[in-house]
Structure 1
Amino acid sequence: MDIKQLHYFVTVCDQLSYSKAAQKLHISQPSLSNAIKNLEREVGSPLLERNTRKIELTDAGKILYEKSILLLSNMNMLKKEMDEVRLTGNGELIIGIIESVKYWIPKVIREYQGRFPSINFKLIEVLGGRAVKESLRKYHTHMLITNQYICEEDIELLSLYDERLVLVLHKDHPLAQKETVALKELESEPFIISTEGFQTREDILRAFSLEQVSPNIKFEIERFETALTLVRENLGITIIPENYLSEPNDASLVWKTMDSPALKRTVYLAFMKNRYLAPAVQAFLEDIRRSFATKSRFPLV
């Protein structure tokens, strides 16, 4: 039994078709069939039952499939780590980010590239809590900057800074003329909020709960830009991180801080505890750490 055989077996299971699996693997169907038969002989038990309609896994096949998925995943992660062992100044750095880091992360990258000019960056948005954990565990990203609070044994979570959550509304909205706005005044307003699974949603709902009021949720979104688009049309109001508004203000929008200590969120740096990080990757992680060690190098707006 070897890795190639297990890869063939898993592909047949996923495709539930020898012909489709053979096409995906770029081998002939007879070669694939023989490989599975050889695997069954080694295991000493049938793994797949094939009738005129479909392929089904036997009990032994189900066990081998589950174990093979884990083994192949670990082998893939090991290969990635080995590929990165000698990475010191060349290669790719993949970072998961949230929207509001745009005001500071280019500054860190600019300083970093002075030492590692050949590194290419891939910045991808990773937003929900489940997506954050999956991205790290499947090695889709080297590290993540996130506001998701994660308490897992295999994931390191470092607090970088806190940022305020502010009220954003259309300039023609009646509340736009007030100097201060209380959460109780928002109870009947059409409210725009992140979908379930996003930490910012939980932070906002907790703030409302502390005031013993509930928002009138009209729209659920995944990106703050979508929320602002809705506010521009005066379809509702929203609460988003202040740093997302750090660029010149849109004339149609008004934003206000609110008298609620709960309306803030923490931004974290997350990475796998036991994953090998190449020198170039480790250097960028340390650059981020140093940038917020005193909370003053890249001051919040």
Structure 2
Amino acid sequence: MDIKQLQYFVVSVDMGSFSSAAEILITTQPNVSKTVKSLEEELRMTLLNRDRSGVTLTKQGEIIYNYAIEVLKNVKMITDFTSESQMDKLSICSIPSNAISSILSKFYNEKSKDKEFRIDYIECKIEDMITSIHKRESELGFIYISKKNMSAFNSFINSKGIKFYEIKKLPLYLYVGRENPLYGKKYINEHDIGNTKLMQYYEDQYSLYNYLEHLKKEIFFNKGQSNICYTNSNHFLIQSLKNTKYGSISSSFIENEYIEKNISSIPILSSENSVSFGYIKRSKGKLSTIAEEFISYLKEQIRLNGYKE
């Protein structure tokens, strides 16, 4: 028994006749019929009923057909794996970020000129990111964490065999559009944000939660009097900033994304005004060469684009 016999048998069943199967398989009708017949003789079973209208499965044929489908699926998986194993793969998960996706696309454009490689890029919640790294589904996860969260975060991920590596400390900014009365200010302090409604990413709720709680504890987190909304949509966040009085607190890493959208970035003067941007990876084992190259490229892009400390 070989793969060709199973393939010809399955296609014949799916197409309903040997002649239609021959067209799909780019061969002749007698060759398909002969190959399927050899399978039946080898198994000592009649797998197909044959008549002028075509072919149909016998009871035994139905059982063998289901087995053959699974065999062919597994063969394809092995073939795909063999093909993929010969190609470098960069698997990344990240908090929602146009900056990361933009830098990643530029990295691929430059590196793919010399060698072909595959990118798996997923934006997700930090909890899902940790799971993905832990299960070896992703190699790198990019996040930013507030000072107040750092100790607890490191303890949590260390227990899962994961470590955080800081790339740069970044200040926090308030981003607002023209509808917000703070638009155009050169800087603000914590008290200036007191009456500002905020629109935050879900990931910011995790990474900046303690900072925001410290900043506006009574306003933001009192039930029934919340002054903060959350979204996982970058498009909705941008439209909210452009067309409403909503503001958003985030790091300077996204400052360049908003310049052309008439959204003002205002530094927040505070002793707690920085977050650590970096990546998580499994504690044991070295990164792949392509992952190390991307981290170096990312650091260089951050330096060239002047993200502020």
Task: Pick the structure with greater CA Rg.
Answer: 2
Q: Do structure 1's residue 226 and structure 2's residue 221 form an aligned pair?
A: no
Counterpart Cα distance in 1 of 2:245 and 2:183: 14
- 1:173, distance to aligned residue in structure 2 (A): 2.2
Which residue does the alignment assign to 2:266? Answer: 256
Partner of residue 246, structure 2: 236
Whether the 8 Å CA contact 1:191–1:219 is kept in 2: the answer is yes
Once residues 108 and 261 of structure 1 are traced to their aligned partners in structure 2, the CA distance between those partners, rounded to angstroms, is 35
Q: Please state whether the residue corresponding to 1:124 is helix, strand or coil.
A: strand
Is there any run of 5+ residues in structure 2 with no aligned partner, and where?
A: 1-65, 68-76, 146-152, 221-225
Number of aligned positions between the proteins: 216
Q: Name the TM-score, length of structure 2 as normaliser.
A: 0.57
Q: Which residue of 2 aligns with 1:102?
A: 101
Whether the 8 Å CA contact 1:203–1:264 is kept in 2: the answer is no
> Structure 1 residues 253, 237: closer, same or farther in 2, change over 3 A?
same
Task: Tell me if the contact between 1:164 and 1:265 (Cα under 8 Å) persists in the aligned partners.
Answer: yes
Give 2:264's aligned amino acid.
V
**Larger helix proportion of the pair:** 2
Residue 15 of structure 2: aligned partner: none
Q: Tell me how far apart the structure 2 counterparts of residues 157 and 134 of structure 1 sit (CA, whole Å).
A: 14
State the Cα distance separating 1:286 from its structure 2 match.
1.8
* Partner SS, residue 171 of structure 1: coil
Aligned residues: CA RMSD = 3.7
- 2:180 counterpart residue number: 173
CA gap of 1:252–1:158, structure 2 versus 1, over 3 A, is closer
Provide the secondary structure at the position in 1 that maps to 2:200.
Answer: strand
Cα 1:273–1:181 change in 2 (3 A) is closer
Tell me if 1:138 matches 2:135. Answer: yes
The amino acid across from 1:121 in the alignment is I
1:121 counterpart residue number: 119
- CA distance 1:112–1:207, change in 2 (3 Å): farther
Q: TM-score, normalised by structure 1?
A: 0.58
1:199 matches 2:206: yes
Could you report, residue by residue, the CA deviation over 1:183-228 in whole angstroms, capped at 9, with x for unpaired residues?
A: 212212222233478433325415516xx77445231223444322
Deviates more, 1:222-231 or 1:106-115: 106-115
Quickly say closer, same or farther: Cα 1:187–1:218, change in 2 above 3 A.
same
Distance 1:197 1:261, change over 3 A: closer
Matched, 1:269 2:276: no
**Superposition pairs of residues 4-15 of structure 1, within 5 angstroms:** none
Q: How many Å apart are 1:132 and its aligned residue?
A: 1.4
3-state SS of 2:208 partner: helix
Q: 1:293 to 1:245 in 2, by over 3 A?
A: closer
- What fraction of aligned residue pairs are identical, expressed as a percent? 10
CA contact (8 A) 2:200 2:231 kept: yes
- Using a 3 Å threshold, how does the CA distance of structure 1 residues 289 and 232 change in structure 2: closer, same or farther? closer
- After superposition, the Cα gap between the structure-2 partners of 1:170 and 1:102, relative to the gap in structure 1 and judged at 3 Å, is same
Answer yes or no: is 1:217 the counterpart of 2:214.
Answer: no
Q: What is the CA deviation profile of residues 78-108 of structure 1, one whole-angstrom value per residue up to 9, with x for unaligned ones?
A: x99xx69x94x61533211231423533444
Cα 1:284–1:206 shift into 2, 3 Å: farther
1:299 CA drift (Å): 3.9
| Kept after mapping to 1: 8 A contact 2:179/2:242 | no
Secondary structure at 2:182 match in 1:
helix
